[in-house]
Amino acid sequence: MTPKPNRISQYLALTKPRVTKLAVFCAVIGMFLATPGLPDWRIVISAAIGIWLLAGSAFAVNCLVEREIDARMARTARRASAQGEISVQQILIFSGVIGGAGMAVLYFLVNPLTMWLTFATFIGYAVIYTILLKPATPQNIVIGGLSGAMPPALGWAAVANDVPMQAWLLVLIIFVWTPPHFWALALYRRDDYAKSGLPMLPVTHGMKFTGLHIWLYTIILVATTTLPFTVNMSGLIYLGSALVLGGIFLYYAWQIYRHYSDALAKKTFTFSIVYLALLFAALLIDHYLNNSF
C-alpha cells in the first residue's frame, strides 16, 4: 500500500512543481539574455522566487477549478484537491498567500512592470484558460498558450524593466511549441481526457487529425526557432542547435502522424521538454560566446 503523502507534499503538489520549474527556467533564460553581461544576482533570485510563487498560485487555482475533472482521470486522481483532502477554502487561502507573496517580492525587490506582467499571466492561465477556454474548445491549448509562453518576457522585464522584440520572439517560440508538446500527451492520455469531459483534440477530432496538427505545428515551430538568428539576436551556434533539435522533433512528429503508438507519443512528449530546455540553453551559450569576442 502506497503511503499517503504528508500535508506539505500535498500543498506542494498543487503548485505542479515540474511545470513550474520549466517556467522558471525559461524566465531565468530571459533574464540572462536581457543583458550582455551577467545580470544582478539579487534580481535573478528575487524574480525567480516571485515568478515561482505566482505560477504556483495559478496552478493551485487550476487544481481547485478542475478538482472534479481530476478525480475522473487516472493521472490526476491522487491530487489532494481531487480527493477532497484539502478543502476549497484551504486551496483559496494557500493560493492567495503564495500569490500575494509573489506579487510583493516582484513589486518591491524587482520592479512593478514584472509584477503586473506576471499577474496578467496568472489571470490568463487561472481564469481565461482554465475557466473559460479549456472546457469550451479543443483549440484551448492553442488560444490559451500565451499565458504559458510568457516566462521569458517576465524574466527579461525583471532585468531590463522593458520587454523588447527579442523577448517576444522567445514567447512566440514557446507559444508555437506548446500545441505539439501538449497534444502528444493528450494522445496517449486520450481515454483519461474522454472520461474528463474536456474537449481535447484527440477526443473531439480523432487521432489522425491530432497527429496531422502535431506535424504541422512542428514545422511552424522549426521555422519560428530560426527567427532569433534572422534578427541577429543569435549566431551560428544557436542556429545549428535549433536545426538539429528541430530535425529530431520533426522526425518524432512525422512518426506520430504516420505510425502512431502510445509509446511513441510518450517519447515525443518527453523529448519536447528536453527540446525546449536544450534550445534555450543553446541560445544562452551562443549569447555569451558572441558577447565575449
On whether the CB atoms of residues 66 and 88 are closer than 8 A, the answer is no
Q: What angle do CA 243, 28, 126 make, to 5 degrees?
A: 100
The CA distance from 206 to 208, in Å, is 6
pLDDT for res 1: 46
Residue the block writes with cell 525587490: 109
Q: 263: burial class by Cβ within 10 Å (0-12, 13-18, 19+)?
A: exposed
Tell me: the pLDDT tens digits for 84-136? 899 999 999 999 999 999 999 999 999 999 999 999 999 999 888 888 888 87
Tell me the torsion sign for CA atoms 269, 275, 281, 287: negative
Residue 142 CB-half CA count within 13 A: 12
Res. 65: pLDDT tops 50: yes
**Percentage of the residues of the chain whose pLDDT score is greater than 90:** 76
More confident residue, 227 or 5: 227
The CA distance from 255 to 98, in Å, is 42
pLDDT for res 3: 57
On whether the CB atoms of residues 29 and 51 are closer than 8 A, the answer is no
Annotation: CATH topology of 1-163 = Tetracycline Repressor; domain 2 (1.10.357)
pLDDT for res 104: 98
C-alpha cell belonging to residue 116: 503586473
pLDDT for res 137: 82
